[in-house]
Structure 1
Amino acid sequence: MTDTSSTVVGATMGQRWRTGRWVLLALVVIVAVAAVTTYLTSPRSGGRMEATSTSPDGARALVTLLRDNGVTVVEAETVEAVEREAQPGNLLVVVQTAHLFGDELLSRLADVPSDLLLVEPGGRTREQLAPAVRRADSTSFGGLAPECDLREARQAGTVHFGGADSFDASGETPVTRCYDGVLARYTEDGRTTTVVGSAHFMTNDGLLEEGNAALAMNLAGQSPRVIWYAPQSSEPDDSGGGATISDLIPAQVTWVALQLALAVVLLALWKGRRIGPLVAERMPVVVRASETVEGRGRLYRSRRARDRAAEALRTSTLQRMLPRLGLSPTARQSTVAEAVTARCGLEARAVAHTLYGPSPTTDTELVTLARELDDMERLVAQS
């Protein structure tokens, strides 16, 4: 009896070890993935208006918003990268930093064929890249209204720039001035140049104020492909270096990445073998989307919840229209009404009543509201 018991216990311990080693391997993989993910996603202070910087004066929030809205943002660290990536129809965003200087560098930027968004330029930078404007006064602003016909500015509404430079036309080229000259734009030789005298409204900290995010998105997102150039280090005069990104990565990082990939593959194979082949299973009940909508409508009607139904209709309409109007979800009611009026030619008071008016008191009024919202959305989509 004693020998039999020992044999049974030994077998049980062996089974536990075979099971436990896979659990241990899974834990090691999970810890490794968590460590790498934490390192890659940890905040990076970075430099002023740097595309990856999470500091208050960085630009990671704006770059993330642009990418979430389908804009391709290419981060160029050198003027060679700018010349290589920039193409006609793109937008080149040039941010004035302490490392943006030198006649040769500025001359090379001026020859890039893309449209230009020049942020807070210094005197020499402005003369080389935007010769059609000259610097006016420096002022300290609160919120400013656009007071111009530029669509990007009118849709954004009031913007808080902080301390900013303003600009005037320096020659015969027509220049559109907004926000008392803090924003200036002109087109010459087929190239559109936009100059802004403040970077505050584009930073991580400034996007939260008034219409800052809308203006930043409207200006930087006017092209489907953006080249972001905010140099954080001075470029040497000899630009013939042949170093690549792979040359700058330590060899240890490559080995760690390969080992992690191998561990993930082994874990996937192990899990796949244990789970077995997929088995198709028929759904017990298939509910069409139209039946779900009708059911919710009957529920609202049975409870006479016309206010809830109207709120749901208005909220859904605004969620679909605001991106087409270039406005953020926090835009003011008056701003939304003005944007719809400008786009569709409807009366501003009627638009405001349809989108933000009182709740209907009868079923007929609710049906009328639904038709008006549908017509308004169709006009915005077709304009």
Structure 2
Amino acid sequence: MTLQTAERSFSVSPTARGIWRRGRAIVLVGVIVVIAAVVPVLLPSGSSGGGALLDPGDSSLVGSRALAQVLGAHGVEVQRVDDVATALAAAGPDSQFLITESALLTEQQAARIAAAPADRLIVGDVRHLDVLAGGLTAEIGGTPSRSRSPECALREATLAGDAYMGGSAFTAPAGSTGCYPSGGKPTLVRYVADGRTVTVVGDGQFMTNLRLAEDGNAALAMNLAGAKHRLIWLVPPAQSDETSEPGGSGGSGGSASEPKTIGDLIPQGVGWAVLELVIAVGLVALWRGRRLGPVVAERLPVVVRAAETVEGRGRLYRARRARDRAALALRAATIDRIAPRLGLPRTATPDEIVTAVAARTGEDPEQIRPALFGGAPADDSGLVALAGYLDTLERQVQDS
């Protein structure tokens, strides 16, 4: 739509450029809010197990909660412990240690675990191998982790098939079985020492929530970790506040009875999200604040005549049958115009106005009062008659 004026025409129809100028602030704020919401989700966080690698109580990508739940569903009692004394107390012929952080053990603790009547599954961390897995030596230099085939006769590996293995390769002792080789050296070794089965794996990523569903990772993890009725899963002491025992009913060492504060229950990503939102709001405020300046008077693109405004308001009153409002507007306008000519202040009472108008025009006060202060006309013809009489009174006051 285009409005014509005497000088030029102005288009009032929305354009793509105008819409973009008005909406780009909203779009920018929306993008910032989306980024602020997505980034904390993508950041690694310890959802329920402190974010530790291979923690059976952690549901993040690096945790192993999924494996613990699957083991529990297949009758394996998963006992999450965070100190060696509790682990040794639970050890027995029908149990197996799962050690993922052997670097946190002392030589004495490693020796006590090696002497316990339980099998040992050492994953990822290859410290204290001379004690925990005597005769096994880790090769110097890392081995890239990727999907590898078993290439061995170990039943647990052949049934699982390809798995995500690597990390470290080993020189295995005599009588052992090595699987998933890298450069001719196995990355998984199993052998029997002093009547106990010892299994060492160079990389534990195949047991994480991230990798468990790939290739035969789940089958291999189940075959290795579920070999005994009870799995004693040793985690770092720093995570002793975790009390969950997925998949089993075993106890947990540490301070399990300590109550958690509100701060402990808030996810770590919330703080980053709040900080990013504050920064985003500040940037938008600075961006919009620089655009604000002094008020600039602009010429209207079109001039509307007073008669058109009056006609428009009249049509609105008529459409809504608002004769009372129309009569009130006519009376108020008439009184505002004649009061100064009568020498009356704006605070004059109706009696004073009626008396002054009657004295100036010679009209009957009983006729003037309902005209200036009466009720609403009964119909449109009454409204027209009222408008005519008010116009007559005003002209008489002006001419007298």
How high is the TM-score relative to the length of structure 2?
A: 0.46
Larger Rg: 2
Using CA pairs below 8 Å that are at least 6 residues apart, which structure has the higher relative contact order?
2
How high is the TM-score relative to the length of structure 1?
A: 0.48
Structure with greater proportional helix content = 1
